[in-house]
Amino acid sequence: MRFADAAPGLELPELRIELTHELLAAYAGATWDFHRYHYDADFARDVAGARDAFADGQMLGALLARQLMAWSAPEGWVRRLALRYRSMAFPGETLLCRGRVTATRVAECEDGRASGLVECELSVATEDGRDVVAPASATVELPA
Sheet bearing 131-143, strands edge to edge: 15-18, 94-108, 114-126, 131-143
- Pairwise CA distance, residues 131 & 115, whole Å: 33
Pick one of 2, 5, 13, 30: the residue that binds another protein (CB under 8 A): 30
Among residues 8, 13, 92, 143, which is the contact residue for another protein, using CB under 8 A?
Answer: 143
- Is 61 a binding residue for another protein by CB under 8 A? The answer is yes
Complex with another protein: residue 9 or 34, whichever CB lies closer: 34
Question: Per DSSP, what are the bridge partners of residue 117?
Answer: 105, 141
Of 9 and 119, CB closest to another protein: 119
Contact 51, 45 (CB under 8 A): yes
The maximal CA–CA distance of the chain, rounded, in angstroms, is: 56
Nearer to another protein, 9 or 139 (CB): 139
Binding residues vs another protein (CB under 8 A): 17, 23, 26-27, 29-37, 40, 43, 47-48, 57-59, 61-63, 65-66, 68-70, 73-75, 77-85, 143
